[in-house]
Amino acid sequence: MSTTQWPLWEVFIRSKQGLNHKHVGSLRAPDATLALENARDVYTRRSEGISIWVVESANIHATDIDDADSFFEPSDTKIYRHPTFYEVPDGVKHM
């Protein structure tokens, strides 16, 4: 049948001032303008957002799930980056 598949876009929405844009899902659209309008209709029918980003899915680069363990390992081993690593006497305040 038809082979007019539109490109896939990832949709990010800022729900209110002061918060990050957050990934909410994807949709298909022929261009960015229509992707934004479709995103409004599909993902913000109940005032879920005040700003939308759309990015063509093909332009997203991601970490490889199979390398995740080694890729993130450097931060797993550095527990001294967390405040709870350090011992402070009970009486010390405002710290």
Partner 1 sequence: MTQAEQERRFLDKIDREIKIEPNDWMPDEYRQTLIRQISQHAHSEIVGMLPEGNWITRAPNLRRKAVLLAKVQDEAGHGLYLYSATETLGADREQLMDDMHTGKAKYSSIFNYPALTWADIGTIGWLVDGAAIMNQVALCRTSYGPYARAMVKICKEESFHQRQGYESLMKLCNGAPQQKAMAQDAMNRFWWPSLMMFGPSDAESTHSDQSIKWKIKRFTNDELRQSFVDATVSQAQILGLTIPDPNLKWNEDRGHYDFSEINWEEFWQVVKGNGPCNKERIAARLKAKEEGLWVREAANAFAKKRAMKKSA
Which residues contact partner 1 (rule: CB under 8 A)?
1-6, 8, 25-28, 30-31, 34, 41-43, 45-46, 62, 65-66
Q: Is the dihedral of CA 71, 73, 76, 80 positive or negative?
A: negative
Residue type, 56: E
Residue whose CB is less far from partner 1, 30 or 72: 30
- The position carrying tokens 């993902």 is 43
Q: How far is the CB of 49 from partner 1 (least distance, A)?
A: 13
Tokens of 16: 């209110």
Residue whose CB is less far from partner 1, 31 or 73: 31
